[in-house]
Structure 1
Amino acid sequence: MLDKLDAEFAFGREALDVRATRQALLSANIANADTPGYLARDVDFSASLAGALREQGAATPSGMASPTGGNASPLAMAQPASVTSGMTMATTEAGHMAGNVKLIPTGGPTEQYTSPLMYRNPVQPALDGNTVDLDTERVQFADNALHFEAGMTTLSTQIKTMLSAITSGSS
């Protein structure tokens, strides 16, 4: 039962994860607008989302072509951010605890969203080698934030609709 619910929300969850990753890149571009030699970075949203869905084996919403080209298996349940095995910690003092840890954010590692990472071609390059155009970055940031909010609204509406259907059948 939960796998069907998870599959229903997989597309929206992956879209929000890609939007959040893109927002972090755009924020870094704006923050480094005065850094000599900094190259503005961005991701292709549609390619990143299709790649993330393909990698996770998620189905796309009805009316959209599946990135896997057929009946996709349901997306595995995303786990909340937690500490798991993977990375060795260095102990520098006698009281430190040794162990293996790895922090995995909800939705999976962000590397799957930044694989088609691109550098933005500057309209007017700066003499110091910085390719950040603040006007372009601000517009992209606002556009991405608007799309993120729209995705959150859509996902919230889906959840409210499902909750309404569940509670109306219990009386």
Structure 2
Amino acid sequence: MAISFDKALGIHQHTLGVRSKRAEVLANNIANADTPNYKAQDVDFEQALNQAKSGQSGGLSMSKTHDKHFDLGLEPTAGLAYRVPLQPDTGDGNTVDLNVERNNFMQNNLEQQMTLEFLGGKFQGMRKAIRGE
């Protein structure tokens, strides 16, 4: 009898991928906190998760406007949007609030760890089922 990992792992496999992508976006925001005109981004978790579950790719792909441009094969992340700033513009056009970004990064990290623990439990359960315990 074949094991269906999609059924056995449930939503956690998709959640892990979305959390990982969100960690990249938040880290990018933190890295660009002093970059003029940089706009903070975040991932709409629900939209990205729905897209990951349905197996769709990012949607739009980059277009080449000149023959010598490289085809990077990059697609935008599902649910990626600009964050509405909570504070007024400081004059440089940057919308990154380091406190918000750090808090979101830590929250995302905790949720990613929780997902890894859920997946570990699922694999442990499958191991026990295979051994007949």
TM-score tier (shorter): 0.7 to 0.9
Paired position in structure 2 for 1:45: 45
Paired position in structure 1 for 2:109: 145
SS in 1 for 2:55: helix
Stretches of structure 1 that go unaligned for 5 or more consecutive residues are: 57-101, 104-108
CA distance in 1, matches of 2:8, 2:53: 13
The residue type paired with residue 120 of structure 2 is S
- Normalising by the residue count of structure 1, what TM-score does the alignment of the two structures yield? 0.62
Greater helix content: 2
- CA positional deviation for 1:128: 0.1
Paired position in structure 1 for 2:91: 127
CA distance in 2, matches of 1:138, 1:31: 11
Give RMSD over aligned pairs. Answer: 2.1
Structure (1 or 2) with the larger CA radius of gyration:
1
- CA positional deviation for 1:26: 0.1
SS in 2 for 1:166: helix
**Count of residue pairs brought into register by the alignment:** 116
The residue type paired with residue 54 of structure 1 is S
Greater strand content: 1
Give the counterpart of 2:78 among 101, 104, 115: 115
SS in 1 for 2:11: helix
- Normalising by the residue count of structure 2, what TM-score does the alignment of the two structures yield? 0.79
CA distance in 1, matches of 2:127, 2:79: 37
Contact in 1 for aligned 2:42/2:83 (Cα 8 Å): yes
What does the per-residue CA deviation read over 1:97-142, in whole Å, with 9 as the maximum and x for residues that have no partner?
Answer: xxxxx99xxxxx8x47x22211011111221000000000001000
